[in-house]
Amino acid sequence: MSATSAIIVGASSMLSKEIARQLSAEGVALALLAHDAESIREFAEELPAPAKVYDFTIEDPQILIPQLEAVWREMTDVRLILVNTGLNSYHPELPWALEQEIIEVDVRGFAAVCNTAFRLFQKQGVGQIAAINSIAGLRGGPSVAFHAAKAFAQNYLEGLSMHAQRLKLPITITDIQLGLLDKAALQRSRLWLSPVDEVARQVVDALLKGKRRVYVTKRWRLVAWLTKLLPEYIYNTRHWKKKKSKEVSSTEQH
């Protein structure tokens, strides 16, 4: 990426803000699209390079697509569109309303942003589409729609990359496979959790190098490799020994 301007879709999260900070420090002008643009206005004003904020609605592609096109028209020389939207939730009863919401944001909204970005870069003749994805997409999981949506995202990006290659277009597609940082935070795992500025640094590094796929942080590559390798009868029974039953059996032994 040799960006003079970039668009970040889903710019309100802590990680998005840190990425924005680091890109801005490189002199990249930014358009920051957020659910509630007002909530990040002050942050944008403090960035070293010019940054504007815009509202966007990911739930409805009929609104989202013209919104993204309008932002594009206001910017000059956009070289990167970074998609960092995501919705994840777990409920043991799997209520459809929740599944539907995840699919709307992580599948339909995601595809609408990437499709529009590709079309805009195709017209321009050059560009980079990057998405913060998750290693959760490598296998199914109990957050059923979320895992499936991340698999969709991975395939969608691979398809776009193939499409660009066939059209002989210099459009780079970067799939940033983030580790399960939320889970690591919940389990207070120092080994697997990294400070947000380090996570953002590795993301920005991958963007600048125009990588096709990268694991962030790097050590999650090992988890990804193991996740893909495990046969389902092991993958699916990882948690069969519940902590409680372990405690019971150890007290029984004493």
List of residues contacting ligand NAP (CB under 6 A):
10, 12-13, 15-16, 34-36, 58-59, 84-88, 105, 132, 134, 178, 180-182
Q: In what order do the strands lie in the sheet with 51-55?
A: 51-55, 29-34, 5-9, 78-83, 127-134, 171-178, 213-216
Nearer to ligand NAP, 2 or 39 (CB): 39
Give the nearer residue to ligand NAP in terms of CB position, either 169 or 184.
184
Tokens of 73: 């028209």
Measure the CA–CA gap between 176 and 106, rounded to whole angstroms: 15
Residue 179: CB minimum distance to ligand NAP, A: 6
Q: Is the CB of 84 or the CB of 174 nearer to ligand NAP?
A: 84
For Cα atoms 79, 85, 90, give the angle at the middle one, nearest 5 degrees: 160
Gap between the Cα atoms of 65 and 60, Å rounded: 9
Residue closest to 15 by CA, chosen among 192, 227, 217, 225: 217
> For ligand NAP, which is the closer residue by CB, 140 or 169?
140
Going by DSSP bridges, is the β-strand pair 5-9/213-216 parallel, antiparallel, or unpaired? unpaired
**Crossing angle of helices 196-209 and 14-25, rounded to 10°:** 50
Q: Taking CB positions, which residue lies at the least distance from ligand NAP?
A: 86
DSSP H/E element including 142: none
Give the span between the Cα atoms of 66 and 178, in whole angstroms: 29
CB 48, min distance to ligand NAP, A: 21
Indicate the residue among 58 and 112 with the shorter CB distance to ligand NAP: 58
Residue 53: which region, alpha, beta or left (left: phi > 0; alpha: psi -120 to 50)? beta
From the CB of 68, what's the least distance to ligand NAP, in Å?
A: 13
Whichever of 68 and 105 has its CB closer to ligand NAP, that residue is 105
